């Protein structure tokens, strides 16, 4: 990967296996929006980014090298060799054709707090509505970072709310889960940063102890927010996919189960009936 400054923009070339639409709009993160010019706008780690791919070059508008190194390099998982991972996953027949069709899905490294709250909200919900709820939460309770953009609300901000204030954002019965998590994080009873540094099994056990978090939400949070690429979340779509693997997951998934999962999830949503 070659990093180059051009005016106030940062240009990345030589990035393999990165599709912005497939990565930013595939149900991993809920705050990215495609603009009319085909670029993508979003907020993460309290930073706004507009990014676009042109002729194989990624243009990060108004982005300093410090923000790139401090946030976006890791957010887009740019130090991982996805081309090699995909080559390995293509040993599996279903993934072989799926990866050809949807090449470029990456696993984002989001903030633990945002990922956990987002996937608590995601349960028994659909992606369009999840995006709406999170958008309202951010616009109403997230810090204004300029230009009409808002950060994801902090645990302090959400802890200060009542359950009914959260319900007003459309969280439904999940409001009480988010309220309790925010309170516990604020009180120090739940330490997401400590969980992030644990071995996978311990981290999962810790998340399963959070009110409103079960196997599926824990796996999503661990995969998309806590850096555990071996997690393999199974939701209603993945249950349909698993019928194609009656003997369990193939060996070539080992070590990068989360990447395999995202391709299969995407395939299922596009090819299987609900």
Partner DNA sequence: GTCCAGGCATGCA
Partner DNA sequence: TGCATGCATGGA
| Residue among 125, 135, 140, 165 that touches DNA (CB under 7 A) | 125
Tell me if 165 contacts DNA by CB under 7 A.
Answer: no
User: Which of 2, 55, 128, 188 contacts DNA by CB under 7 A?
Assistant: 128
Q: Which two tokens stand for residue 153?
A: 């609300």
| 44 near DNA, judged by CB under 7 A | no
Query: Measured in Å, how far apart are the chain's first and last C-alpha atoms?
Result: 40
CB of 11 to DNA, least distance (A): 29
Is residue 114 involved in binding DNA (CB under 7 A)?
no
Quote the CA–CA distance of 6 and 217 in Å, as a whole number. 40
Question: Per rule CB under 7 A, is residue 173 in the interface with DNA?
Answer: yes
Minimum distance, C-beta of residue 115 to DNA, in the bound complex (Å): 11
Does the annotation mark 216 as catalytic?
A: yes
22 binds DNA (CB under 7 A): no
Q: Out of 112, 142, 153, 212, point to the residue binding DNA (CB under 7 A).
A: 212
Q: Does 98 bind DNA (CB under 7 A)?
A: no
Choose one: 13-21, 46-54, 127-135, 184-192; the region binding DNA (CB under 7 A): 127-135
By CB under 7 A, the count of residues binding DNA is 38
Contact between 162 and DNA by CB under 7 A: the answer reads: no
Contact predicate 264/238, CB 8 Å: yes
Among 3-11, 50-58, 230-238, 243-251, the segment contacting DNA (CB under 7 A):
230-238
34, 160, 200, 234: which one contacts DNA (CB under 7 A)?
Answer: 234
- Residues in touch with DNA (CB under 7 A): 26-28, 119, 122-130, 167, 170, 172-173, 210-218, 220, 233-238, 261-262, 265, 269, 274
**Active-site annotation, residues:** 216
């Amino acid at each position: 990967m070659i990093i180059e400054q051009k005016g106030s923009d940062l240009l990345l070339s030589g990035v393999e296996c990165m599709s912005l639409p497939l990565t930013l709009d595939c149900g991993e993160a809920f705050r990215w929006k495609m603009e009319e010019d085909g670029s993508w706008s979003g907020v993460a780690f309290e930073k706004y980014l507009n990014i676009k791919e042109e002729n194989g070059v990624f243009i990060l508008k108004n982005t300093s090298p410090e923000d790139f190194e401090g946030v976006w390099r890791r957010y887009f998982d740019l130090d991982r060799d996805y081309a090699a991972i995909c080559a390995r996953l293509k040993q599996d027949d279903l993934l072989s054709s799926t990866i050809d069709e949807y090449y470029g899905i990456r696993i984002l490294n989001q903030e633990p707090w945002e990922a956990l709250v987002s996937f608590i909200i995601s349960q028994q919900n659909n992606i369009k509505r999840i995006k709406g709820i999170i958008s309202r939460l951010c616009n109403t309770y997230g810090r204004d970072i300029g230009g009409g953009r808002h950060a994801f609300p902090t645990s302090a901000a959400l802890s200060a709310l009542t359950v009914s204030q959260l319900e007003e954002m459309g969280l439904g019965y999940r409001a009480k889960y988010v309220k309790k998590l925010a309170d516990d994080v604020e009180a120090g009873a739940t330490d997401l940063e400590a969980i992030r540094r644990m071995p996978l099994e311990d981290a999962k056990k810790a998340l399963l102890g959070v009110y409103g978090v079960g196997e599926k939400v824990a796996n999503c949070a661990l995969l998309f927010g806590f850096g555990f690429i071996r997690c393999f979340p199974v939701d209603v779509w993945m249950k349909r996919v698993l019928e194609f693997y009656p003997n369990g997951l193939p060996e070539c998934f080992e070590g990068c189960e989360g990447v395999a999962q995202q391709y299969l999830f995407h395939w299922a949503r596009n090819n299987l009936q609900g």
